[in-house]
Chains A and B, each alone.
Chain A
Amino acid sequence: MSALLNIDNLQAGIDGTPILNGLSLSIQPGEVHAIMGPNGSGKSTLSYVLSGKDGYEVSGGDMMFEGQSLADMAPEERAIAGLFLAFQYPLEIPGVTNMTFLKTSLNAILRGRGEDEMDAASFLRLAREKSRALGMNDEMLKRQLNVGFSGGEKKRNEILQMAMLEPKLAILDETDSGLDIDALKTVAEGLNALRAPDRGMLVITHYQRLLDFIKPDVVHVMAAGRIVKSGGPELALELEKSGYAEYVGETVNA
């Protein structure tokens, strides 16, 4: 059986600047992996390269999703295949309501999978149920996508999209940043609800906090565009205490 995600010696950059320098990582179905690492180490870049954003040049290595190479797939094909990225900085789309967007997205994915689109009534029921579970009121569904949303509301909205689309692999780029304690719990519940033997998650975070709620199977340290150490959940606790100094080769001035 193939890994859910297998990244092997991935090298990628933008405008001729290398950012990912031989990154390897493998996620089995059912696993939650966390990536921690200093600012600028390439975590968001990895999430963009995996989801197919324009402008990044992949110069070496492989990214295999359920045995299929991601490299030549359009972003929407990756989404249809079951990949989902919760953005570190969610975008605002003026003039498009949350509801219209969710419906367009869900139906595009169902269509892409050769399944029937969802009818309006079932969609509405589903959207309400999922948004309530995340502590969002119906009013937020009627608003323009993320326009005027607070930072925390935008993050919650990313999780709502994830809950609606039920991806096989969710990449969460600092979804916990900017959330208050209660929101963090709600979001973690949303994530845990999606844990399943055939799904996986790649959680990018700077804080141990989120990992208290969704216990990762593996924690990776990323520095200078590669994974420099991997371990169990205890690694996150260690990092919280001692920082990244030993991985980036800097000395800490006391």
Chain B
Amino acid sequence: MLDAQSYFDRISGDLSGDVKARAVALAAAEAAGLPTRRQEAWHYTDVARLLSKATHDTLHNIDFAPLNPLMAVFDNGRLLAAPQASGVAVSPFHHDGATADNAVLNYNAALAQDGLTAEISGDLAQPLIVTTQGDAPVHLHHKITLAPQAKAVLVDNHMSRDYTNARFDIALGAGAELTLIRVQQAGHQIGTSEIMLAEGAQIKTVALVTGGALARHEANVAFTARGAHAELHSAVLGRGENHADFTYLIDHQAADTSSNTSAYNVLDAAARGVFQGKIIVRKDAQHVDAQMQTRAMMLSEGAEMDAKPELEIYADDVACAHGSAIGELDKDALFFLRSRGLGEASARYLLVAGFIEQVLAHIDNDAMADALRALVAQKIAAQFSVQGDA
């Protein structure tokens, strides 16, 4: 990891906002230091060790062109051009400098160079793609707000080869609907999403991690009023020494809210998958329905999956459940496919693609789902050295 203080001294001249507030945040971050395994939320993810590992994963360009998207490209930490469309009001990046209660967010507060601040209203026909690219360490702080009843598709397309600390503040007004697609193929990323759902708001996230020495995706979802609903689905295709960590805090503060979480991990070689999902149902938040499911397909003895679902329930009339299934590739299924003429590699390809497809199938927009399917096909084909027919 970089030496934050000297990095700050070097770039502080270019940073916007209150430099004093940034220095305070930096001091707080440095006092705490980056998280260590002694902190419960980081027990399975050893940041210092993972940051010291190089990442060799190939970056494939995902073909979003058929979707005619709005682009917000952050190149080495700077927004190249603001997206322009009716229904999207982009404001200049404003640094508020507020300190937080954890070092990751304080580093972000101190060092955030830029970020997309956008308010979306109405039904945004074009997906909004936020691409993070480059080969320098960056800190970004995005703030995306959906006005009441607004509808949008947002893509967090992570294409950086270096360290990224990205924060997304996402607020959905009453009845708003957001589909959030996330992809990470390489690099080191610690991402934090603070998601706030107003009455009847719905968010669906589909995250895909196909590589990276560190892919920490933390999401804290607050259901603040009745009728709010969240779907949080993730797929990990890990090999080599990839490390993918999905950590959620799913906080049902209001009655009649619901969540559906699933995590699918395919882990080969020495890859490691981590899933930590904590569901809190607050007192008086009756009729909450919260479901959580973890599944892992282990392709090698050296791979590891750590799944830790947690329920903390203070209301009495709720339906909450979690389940976890970790297994190897299904030998009977493999035999069945081979008995139908598929070579072993193609059979494995199809079983792995089918496993990941169960996550991608949550994406309603076919063109969007196809763009990710094509990426997955490339990754699996490279992994098993086969040409996929799927």
Contacts and interface: CB of A to CB of B under 8 A. Distances in A.
A87 B343 CA distance: 19
A103 interface: yes
A200 interface: no
B329 to A, nearest CB: 12
Interface residues of A, number: 31
B336 A95 contact: no
A51 B339 contact: yes
Interface string B51-73: 00000000000000000000000
A96 B341 contact: no
A104 B346 CA distance: 9
B78 interface: no
Contacts of A94: 354-355, 357-358
Contacts of A80: 341
A76 B343 contact: yes
Given A79-B340, A104-B346, A91 B333 contact: yes
Contacts of A106: 341
Given A75-B338, A103-B389, A104-B389, A96 B353 contact: yes
A137 interface: no
A52 B350 CA distance: 20
Contacts, number: 85
A161 interface: yes
Nearest to B357: A95
B339 A52 contact: yes
Contacts of A95: 353-358, 361
B361 A75 contact: no
B346 A108 contact: yes
Nearest to A80: B341
B350 A93 contact: yes
Contacts of B340: 79, 101, 105, 108-109, 161, 165
Interface string A84-117: 1101000101111000110111111100100000
Contacts of A96: 350-351, 353-354, 357, 390
B342 to A, nearest CB: 5
24 contacts: A52-B338, A54-B335, A74-B338, A76-B338, A76-B344, A79-B339, A91-B330, A91-B336, A93-B336, A93-B350, A93-B351, A94-B358, A95-B354, A96-B354, A100-B389, A103-B389, A104-B346, A104-B389, A104-B390, A105-B342, A108-B342, A108-B389, A144-B354, A161-B340
